[in-house]
Amino acid sequence: MKSVFLFERFDFINRDISGEGPPRAKARIFSQAAAPGGARSFLQAVSKVTEEAPTPLRVVQMEGLAVLKIIKHCEEFAPALVTGQLLGLDVGSVLEVTNCFPFPIREEDDEADADGANYQLEMMRCLREVNVDNNTIGWYQSCLLGSFQTVELIETFMNYQESIRRCVCIVYDPSRSSQGVLALKALKLTDSFMDLYRNNGLTGEKLREKKLSWVDIFEEIPIKVSNSALVSAFMKELEPESPVTQCDFDRLKLSTAPFMERNLEFLIGCMDDLSSEQNKFQYYYRNLSRQQSQQQAWLQKRRQENMARKAAGEEPLPEEDPSNPIFKPIPEPSRLEGYLVTNQISSYCNHINGVAGQNFNRLYLMKALHED
């Protein structure tokens, strides 16, 4: 389903410091304006902030409430794929995710896109009225067995980048989380890949020039979950007296065959897709070689004809004929699909390797228990 809405319509909300924005954002701006060391005006403080070089993103700090909302939304609709909006603040090298809300599931058409945009704007307005951080900093989405690396994800990133300087996508995998691992990761596109994608430069020559490989498309940002002191104290009160919980017992389950089977099925499908991409490039290089041979034969024939015309005292003909079909350049296929499929294959292999290693640990543990 689509997670791209009309972000330009609420771009005025993202970094609004006109007096109606979140109090925490206004406090930072006003504190910079009133900092000691010189009587600077408010406009001078704001201009200095905007002129500073952007700080690279180091960590995504998520409120525990936002994490629980994401998990609840994705688990309720699994295995269907869902998505939602991330709200928070961009503070230096930290992207703070303080709240989120889900997008409604509708059919993909123009009317549904308009309804989704109106719903999003209405939610932002309601959050604004109750003084909740309503700055858009990205979106979250669910996936099945880590299958999120698609062209649609990249297009969504590029749409967000038009109105938001820094944004992330939080990906949650309910199927992997059922194996005792919190499958939550924050992703962003690398700057080098975004530059090539904007300029339609995903060709072999440009990729070799920039030294960009398939591992340089996405960048995973570390996630830090934080809670207020009151929430931490409340969670401490809710902790069971027994140090062992049901979740600890679930991690000792020896049956992981369904999870492994699905991973292997998806891996085989990706291998077929990669083979299809390779066939496209083989077809392209065969056509390119055939065209070069035709050009050489035509050029040799034209040179012989020009030698005869010179001997007869006539003007030679040009050695290039743009109207000839053999001189029309053959467009090179994009490498994006192949790179994404390779990335996905690597992800599946890592999943299988991790699950297999955990299974061996469980088997050795069971063996030791039986021997005792």
Q: What Å distances lie between residue 172 and 60, 79, 144, 181, 197, CA to CA?
A: 15, 12, 9, 11, 26
- Residues 299, 237 share a domain: no
Query: Residue 266 domain-assigned?
Result: no
Query: Residue 338 domain-assigned?
Result: yes
Query: What pLDDT, on the 0 to 100 scale, is given for residue 172?
Result: 92
- Residues 318, 285 share a domain: yes
- Residues 332, 243 share a domain: no
- Residues 293, 331 share a domain: yes
- Residues 223, 301 share a domain: no
Query: Residue 28 domain-assigned?
Result: no
On whether the CB atoms of residues 87 and 132 are closer than 8 A, the answer is yes
Print the domain residue range for 284.
273-371
Which ranges of the chain does DSSP label H, i.e. alpha helix?
11-14, 23-33, 42-51, 64-77, 110-129, 151-161, 174-177, 191-198, 204-210, 229-238, 246-250, 257-311, 336-371
Residue 59 Cα to chain centre, angstroms? 15
Threshold 0.75, pTM exceeds? no
Task: Identify the domain boundary among 215, 250, 285.
Answer: 250
**What's the total number of domains in the chain?**
2
pLDDT in tens, 280-302: 889 988 988 888 888 888 888 88
Query: What pLDDT, on the 0 to 100 scale, is given for residue 232?
Result: 81
- Residues 302, 207 share a domain: no
Query: Residue 9 domain-assigned?
Result: no
Task: Identify the domain boundary among 250, 283, 312.
Answer: 250
- Residues 311, 211 share a domain: no
- Residues 210, 65 share a domain: yes
- Residues 291, 219 share a domain: no
CATH number of the domain bearing residue 79: 3.40.140.10
Query: Residue 335 domain-assigned?
Result: yes
Query: Residue 8 domain-assigned?
Result: no
- Residues 122, 67 share a domain: yes
On whether the CB atoms of residues 124 and 1 are closer than 8 A, the answer is no
- Residues 216, 126 share a domain: yes
Q: In which residue ranges of the chain is pLDDT below 70?
A: 1-54, 106-116, 242-256, 372
Q: How far apart are CA 170 and CA 186, in angstroms?
A: 5
What type of residue sits at position 258? P
Query: Residue 22 domain-assigned?
Result: no
pLDDT in tens, 19-38: 444 434 333 433 343 344 44
Query: What pLDDT, on the 0 to 100 scale, is given for residue 223?
Result: 92
Query: What pLDDT, on the 0 to 100 scale, is given for residue 256?
Result: 66
Query: Residue 27 domain-assigned?
Result: no
- Residues 343, 279 share a domain: yes
